[in-house]
Amino acid sequence: MKKISIKLKVTLWYTLSMIIVSAIVLLAMNAASQQMIRHDISERLIQTVDEASHMRFVPDNHPVPGFRVYSRGVHLMLYNDDGELIGGQVPFGITDEPDFSDEIRTKTYDGSTYYIYDKQVKHSFSDNTLWVKGIISATDEAYAISSVMKNNFLLTAIIIVLASFGGYLIINRAFVPVNKITKTAKRIIASGDLSQRIELGDGKDEIYSLAGVFDEMLDKIEQAFEREKQFTSDASHELRTPVAVILSECEYMTECARSSADFTESASSIKRQAERMSKLIGELLTLSRMDKNTLKINLEETDISELASFVCDEQEEIASKDIELIRRIDVGICASVDRFLLARLFINLVSNAYQYSDDGGKIEVSLKEDESNIIFGVSDTGIGIAKEELGKIWERFYQSDTSRTANENGSMGLGLSMVKHIAECHGGSVSVESELGVGSKFVFTLPKSSK
Ligand code: ADP
């Protein structure tokens, strides 16, 4: 069966409902009109016969002078005691002998129905009685009813057609936003262009808010898609450099290297690049596992004060710059954390502080706790971060222009996004305050209630 649209379904449904309701109303109206008209005809018949019966009847005059033959659709007749017609005229087609009764009754002659009513009156100059007979054709009634019904039917049909058409227009209008949503979705499917939006504007009904949510969802999908694209291109870019170096070193070794010193130098360059690739691949793997929530987190009760001091010792030892490291680490702070991941977080923050500070600078590492949180802070007097870059430093592969030169040191712009992930998978958060040329402060907050 061919699918019919919701618009048509709704229109057909309420048109059908209106037809059914109207038919019931029309039938009721028909019955009421019949009753009213019948009542009106009976009233008219009685009233006309009553009026005719009030005149003075002069004896023996044939016909009685002044007796009206026809009034307001009623045929009038006057009969004497012997049933002889002495006034008025029997309507054409009525042939039987007259009978008299003061009850309204109906009789059919030649297929036509008549209402009949009689009234007995006293003769003005004797004790004899006379009968005034009134006859009215029921055809009038049928005609009146059919004309009323015809009008009613016509009016109802016009109302149904107008209401159905108006209803269809309203539904059609209400469906405009739905059509727009469908068109936008189809355009996106056909072109793959995620920048398309429905843009219905402000509206109060549910469809408008659906379109708004749809647009928001498209924003998010587009951003995620762009991030994914950027990530893939950055990752391949980062891998291409060490691969190129390794290939050229291999070429040099096979074609140009003469002495064992040449071989040793090329081999150590290859080793450095391979280590760099291995580090990058390791970090990418960790990030992707974090994304997919498949990274296993081994929570164990850990002395965080010890871990922070250990990281400080290590970083101080490998630092090649003349930078003072100040420790404000409260002792005995413990929590249930993944020791390996938390060490990574501390290392990334402290090593960044070293990397982006110059000789003579100062780094302060602090660890303290209050009632609800454990707070780890690393501040430095380094190059600082521009305000407009503060939001971007958490993105994968993001490196500010000034730090790009640091690439040679093996930094790839993945450290802070890992810090953010580690903080979040521990139920914590990380924040930054920085001023260009003055220094930066990174703070990791771990709620004590977190697992
Ligand atoms: P990278 O490997 O480049 O250090 P990160 O993700 O750790 O990558 O940091 C991203 C960027 O944030 C860095 O390139 C640098 O521009 C900026 N940044 C991070 N830490 C600091 C800091 N302590 N001082 C100044 N800039 C920093």
> CB–CB of 440/385 below 8 Å?
yes
Q: In whole angstroms, what is the distance from residue 285 CA to residue 283 CA?
A: 5
| Listed ranges 71-75, 229-233, 281-285, 434-438; the one with the highest mean pLDDT | 434-438
Min mean pLDDT across 10-14, 291-295, 389-393 is at 291-295
380 in contact with ligand 1, CB cutoff 6 A: yes
| Listed ranges 187-196, 246-255, 348-357; the one with the highest mean pLDDT | 348-357
Atom of ligand 1 nearest to the CA of 416: 6
Atom of ligand 1 nearest to the CA of 399: 14
400 in contact with ligand 1, CB cutoff 6 A: yes
From residue 263, give the alpha-carbon distance in Å to each of 247, 259, 350: 14, 7, 36
Partnered with residue 445 across adjacent β-strands are 375, 429
CA of 237 from ligand 1 middle (Å) equals: 19
**362-369/324-329 β-pairing:** parallel
Q: In whole angstroms, what is the distance from residue 89 CA to residue 68 CA?
A: 9
CA of 416 from ligand 1 middle (Å) equals: 7
**Pocket of ligand 1, candidates 416, 430, 432, 433: which has the most ligand atoms within 8 Å of its Cβ, to mutate?**
416
**Pocket of ligand 1, candidates 284, 350, 383, 403: which has the most ligand atoms within 8 Å of its Cβ, to mutate?**
403
- Averaged pLDDT for residues 268-284: 88
Residue 450 pLDDT class (50, 70, 90 cuts): low
Q: In whole angstroms, what is the distance from residue 242 CA to residue 65 CA?
A: 136
Q: In whole angstroms, what is the distance from residue 282 CA to residue 271 CA?
A: 16
Q: Cβ–Cβ contacts within 10 Å for residue 147, how many?
A: 11
Q: In whole angstroms, what is the distance from residue 266 CA to residue 248 CA?
A: 9
- Averaged pLDDT for residues 204-213: 82
Q: What's the pLDDT score for residue 128?
A: 74
382 in contact with ligand 1, CB cutoff 6 A: yes
- Averaged pLDDT for residues 126-148: 80
Partnered with residue 114 across adjacent β-strands are 107, 137
Q: In whole angstroms, what is the distance from residue 333 CA to residue 30 CA?
A: 92
Tokens in use for 411?
């930094």
CA of 323 from ligand 1 middle (Å) equals: 17
If DSSP codes are grouped into helix, strand and coil, which group holds residue 211?
Answer: helix
415: nearest Cα among 339, 342, 351: 351
Query: pLDDT of 314-349, one tens digit each?
Result: 999 988 889 999 999 999 999 999 999 999 999 999
399 in contact with ligand 1, CB cutoff 6 A: yes
Checking if the pLDDT of 83 tops 70, the result is: yes
| Listed ranges 116-125, 157-166, 230-239, 255-264; the one with the highest mean pLDDT | 157-166
- Averaged pLDDT for residues 15-30: 88
- Averaged pLDDT for residues 114-122: 89
- Averaged pLDDT for residues 170-192: 87
Q: What's the pLDDT score for residue 56?
A: 65
Checking if the pLDDT of 1 tops 60, the result is: no
Burial letters 9-23, b for 16+ CB under 10 A, else e: ebbeebbeebeeebe
Q: What's the pLDDT score for residue 148?
A: 77
Q: Which residue has the higher pLDDT, 285 or 17?
A: 17
Q: Cβ–Cβ contacts within 10 Å for residue 247, how many?
A: 12
Burial letters 223-245, b for 16+ CB under 10 A, else e: eeeeeeeebeebbeebeeebeeb
Checking if the pLDDT of 384 tops 90, the result is: yes
- Output the pTM of the full model: 0.57
Q: Cβ–Cβ contacts within 10 Å for residue 7, how many?
A: 16
First to last CA, the chain: 58
> CB–CB of 174/207 below 8 Å?
yes
Residue by residue, DSSP assigns 131-168 as: EEEEEEEHHHHHHHHHHHHHHHHHHHHHHHHHHHHHHH
Length reported for the chain? 451
Q: Where are the alpha helices (DSSP H) in 129-259?
A: 138-174, 176-191, 206-255
Partnered with residue 145 across adjacent β-strands are none
Atom of ligand 1 nearest to the CA of 442: 23
**Pocket of ligand 1, candidates 283, 352, 387, 435: which has the most ligand atoms within 8 Å of its Cβ, to mutate?**
352
CA of 402 from ligand 1 middle (Å) equals: 10
Q: What's the pLDDT score for residue 405?
A: 43
Residue 60 pLDDT class (50, 70, 90 cuts): low
Percentage of the chain exceeding pLDDT 70: 92
Q: Cβ–Cβ contacts within 10 Å for residue 428, how many?
A: 21
CA of 108 from ligand 1 middle (Å) equals: 110
Checking if the pLDDT of 196 tops 90, the result is: no
Q: What's the pLDDT score for residue 143?
A: 77
Residue 401 pLDDT class (50, 70, 90 cuts): low
164 in contact with ligand 1, CB cutoff 6 A: no
If DSSP codes are grouped into helix, strand and coil, which group holds residue 113?
Answer: strand
Residue 376 pLDDT class (50, 70, 90 cuts): very high
241 in contact with ligand 1, CB cutoff 6 A: no
Q: Which residue has the higher pLDDT, 53 or 436?
A: 436
Checking if the pLDDT of 406 tops 50, the result is: no
- Averaged pLDDT for residues 376-382: 96
For the range 309-318, what are the long-range contacts, defined as Cβ-Cβ under 8 Å and sequence gap of 24 or more? Answer: 310/343, 311/343, 311/346, 311/347, 311/350, 312/350, 312/365, 314/347, 315/347, 315/350, 315/351, 315/354
